[in-house]
Chains A and B, each alone.
Chain A
Amino acid sequence: MIEKLDTKQFTVLVMMNTLGASIIFIPSIATNFGKENGWITLILATLIGALILCLYRRIIQRLEGSNFFTLIEKSLGKWIGKIVISLFCFYTFINVSANLWSISDFISIQILMGTPFEVVSFLIILTVLVAVRYGIEVIGRTSELFFPFAMICAILLTLLVIKDAELTNILPIFQLNRASTIAGIIPIISITYLELVILLAIAHTVNQNIGARKGIMIGGIASGFILIIITIASIAVLGVQGTSNYIYPIYALGQRINIFNFFERVEIIVAFIWFFTIFSKLCVSFYVLISGIQYLIPLKTYKTWTIPFTFLAFLASIQIIPNTIAAFPFINGPYTVISIIVGFIIPLLLFACKWKS
């Protein structure tokens, strides 16, 4: 059965993938660099992200119905192509493990305190396994269903903390820390827009090529806008010190919600945003990983690969980093490097290579 996504579903998947892990980490990372200009770092990152999206858009245009892995192999030759696809699969595997680690770490530290990390991680990856076995069409429809809830929670979060916002926290605008405001773009891009390279592997499943091209641009820019708003809210409410000290600043933002002393402690709405977005991201990344492996070693059905890789991803989520503190040097160092290689250099290479028909 040929699985198809429509433009709306693909746009939603782009947004869910961009917001996935980043919605909870970005305010802290941006503020660590840009301090009161953290939101400007986000604006600049969105602008550069739009350029990266233009590159992805051109690659989608080149797909013309064939899949991304075929494009790699046809453009770079059989053997180099296989090496590049393996590198792409490795990056996707790291992405799945890192996202699985981040949601499991968050749940076991903030929500289900006392429940072992391994139990949370295993339950999540088992759910992802079920979704991936149903196929990308079901993942697309599920994301479409979850999307309004995630957006309503994000809007509610921003609106309900507005009364605590102090605009002096985001002042002076771009007068201090200019260099660090700009340097902060690198890690932010690497965990938002460069990760969208993974979605190129499902772009051929979109009904119309033009829909996929539109979807990646609209989804990417819209999610950049949401990240800017949430970062402004975090800095304005929690202050620079508060935002950069919290590992999950938007969760702390949720804890501040208090309306007439009866509507309070509703930080779980933040968790809802994250559950929906990261589940969708995990499903897509895992599906792409399995598709890549299936392309390299073809079997009768891709489903055969799903169970062993579920276990391997679970193991990798336990063994990816020792603790939450180690996540930030990992993002600033090795993860940024591999993101730039897979998310920028490889697409640029594909863009530069002529399609050998």
Chain B
Amino acid sequence: MLQLLIFLIISTLLFYFEFKMIGKAKATKDKLIFTMFMLIAVTLLSLQSLDFPFPYLADLLELATKPVSNPLEQWLQGFQEE
């Protein structure tokens, strides 16, 4: 919980300073996209620190490349066991 709190403080500070800088440039699109991506990133990280069961990226990649990566991995594994 303390980790999450520290992280939220850091992200709020970073958000505040960056938002102020974008504000000076008068870029509405930039502001919108920045806020949206920050919200996504902070929400995902907060969920992760609350032990939300996210899948591992390696598992997702394995799922996506399964038809090629599985035979390749097994083939290479065979050489390592020799």
Residues on A lying within 8 angstroms of B by beta carbon are: 32-33, 94, 97, 116, 118, 122, 177, 179-180, 183-184, 186-187, 297, 299-301, 303-305, 307-309, 311-312, 314-316, 318-322, 326, 329-330, 332-338
Contact = CB atoms under 8 A, between A and B. Distances in A.
Contacts of B37: 305, 308-309, 312
13 contacts: A180-B80, A186-B76, A300-B25, A300-B30, A308-B40, A311-B11, A312-B41, A320-B57, A320-B58, A321-B58, A330-B58, A332-B77, A333-B65
Contacts of B40: 308, 312
B79 A333 contact: no
A336 B72 contact: yes
Contacts, number: 116
Contact of A334 (B25, B34, B65, B80): B65
B33 A337 contact: no
Contact of B69 (A33, A303, A337): A337
Given A308-B38, A311-B41, A334 B79 contact: no
A333 B64 CA distance: 11
Interface of B: 3, 7, 11, 14-15, 18, 21-22, 25, 27, 29-30, 33-34, 37-38, 40-42, 44-45, 48, 54-58, 61-62, 64-65, 68-70, 72-73, 75-77, 79-80, 82
A315 B14 CA distance: 17
A177 B7 CA distance: 50
Contacts of A333: 62, 65, 69-70, 72-73, 76
Contacts of A337: 65, 68-69, 72
A307 B14 contact: yes
Contacts of B45: 311, 314-315
Contact of A184 (B25, B61, B79): B79
A319 B18 contact: no
Contacts of A334: 58, 61-62, 64-65, 69
A93 to B, nearest CB: 9
